[in-house]
Structure 1
């Protein structure tokens, strides 16, 4: 997302502004309005993009992304590592809170830990990068489920069941659906010793460039050690990190802020 309009910027700023607007708009008037540039400037840039195959004209006054953009996007996505893009935000969250931090990625009907930072606490979490866990029993998993449509959640439950990992695990479908409503309202999920006895966590959903939920970020602690701050404040920090990670993954603003709606 452009942080400011490039009216007084250099030629590169203007081209980039038009190229970015082309991702959301097709008409010359709409692209002009989105960039704040002069109509003649936008038209000239679009013609250059068409010439170099970064854009195509459809014949009815619309512009769409061209083959060069699609090829470049495909090559970049082939090397795309969400954990690498999230690294800065994960480290800032760990430094800010002192807690162990995880990034979990949705993989089929499970969550796979894609990144882990131990934090400043004297204890270590038993999780490891590459470990997979069920969605219903973890904070990361419940944050992801809360961002999915209810029919999708029901379908996942039908396929995987709701194994009671601990006495605190939600193992009833109706109860889980009601619980997820609360997660959506707050903007973050809480794991109260539901996956591992003695471990609690707070998690918020992360979205990718398509606007779909792709995972979640969390902070964890031992149940015997109270959180250093009220869980509501901790939730705000986790949500902020999730929004930052979503933006780094190219999520549309509406999707990146979706998880923060309840905060």
Structure 2
């Protein structure tokens, strides 16, 4: 049947995990929903073994059985694919909004994502001012003392936040770094209410920023955007004035994500 993967085009794998992945791939790449007999003929596995594997994949939400008793990709698989797309394409979608934020503020704009206990910078629009930031795309910074990092922490479910803080050593980078966990948790609670986070020279002396989180349609954190500048140019008034602009930029990226993925549900 044209377009349906065969045992030659989808490797059966050599172990239990490999065979399970091959089954998911077989169903996901098929141009129509597959019945059990279709899958049986393409894998060559014993009927009983194949039935157990398919049942397990259905239980895990990676596959589903539709009304016609055919196998189709499950909601969990679709969500994983959606999240992978969001992460890989986030930089492209955010780029025009980072530039607009840069045009409005004149300072350095960062796009970052959370990786374990750190923020990884995915993109940067350099300030047009003489003094610029030393940050680099791909560089990691601690989450607990950076603007994007604290915005990310505030976006996490409480259980994951507590687990992450358990793994974090609150090292003082500057005299302004928050090293008391209870104080940090109180600030994170305020960030949740405000919708933006500040870094007041907490990671680098003389550097301030304001940041906001970017969520997917499931309200899961996928990234953050910030405006950063030297303290002598960026006072408290500037941080407060830029906070709505940063939140608006994050919101615009979220709209791009929603539009790219189509109607929810």
Q: Same fold (TM over 0.5)?
A: yes
User: Where do 1:91-170 residues align within 5 Å?
Assistant: 91-170=99-178
Aligned residues: 200
Return the offset for 1:230.
Answer: 4.1
Structure 1, unaligned stretches of length 5 or more?
A: 1-50, 253-263
Q: 1:243 aligns with which of 242, 247, 251?
A: 251
Deviations 1:154-198 (A, max 9, x none): 211211221111111111111111011111121100100000000
Residue aligning to 1:195: 203
Q: CA deviation at 1:150?
A: 2.5
**Partner Cα separation in structure 1 for residue 200 and residue 177 of structure 2:** 8
TM-score (norm 2): 0.65
Sort the Cα spacing of 1:251 and 1:134 in 2 relative to 1 into closer, same or farther, 3 A: farther
Find the aligned partners of 2:87 and 2:207 in 1 and give their Cα distance.
Answer: 34
Shift, 1:231, TM fit:
2.7
* Preserved CA contact (<8 Å) 2:87 2:222: no
Distance 1:241 1:108 in 2: 25
Decide whether the 8 Å contact of 1:101 with 1:217 is kept in 2. Answer: yes
Shift of 1:96: 1.4
- Provide closer, same or farther for how the CA distance between residues 139 and 247 of structure 1 changes in structure 2, counting only shifts above 3 A: same
**Contact 2:116–2:164 (8 Å) recurs in 1:** no
Taking structure 1 as reference, are residues 86 and 78 closer, same or farther at Cα in structure 2, changes over 3 Å only? closer
Counterpart Cα distance in 2 of 1:246 and 1:140: 16
Aligned-pair distance for 1:81?
A: 2.7
Distance 1:228 1:100, change over 3 A: farther
Alignment of 1:165-180 (within 5 A): 165-180=173-188
Aligned-pair CA distance for 1:209: 4.7
SS in 1 for 2:250: helix
Shift of 1:66: 5.5
Residue matched to 2:232: 224
Structure 2 distance, partners of 1:137, 1:251, is 33
TM-score normalised over the length of structure 1 = 0.66
Larger Rg: 2
How large is the Cα RMSD of the aligned pairs?
Answer: 3.6
Matched with 2:220 is 212
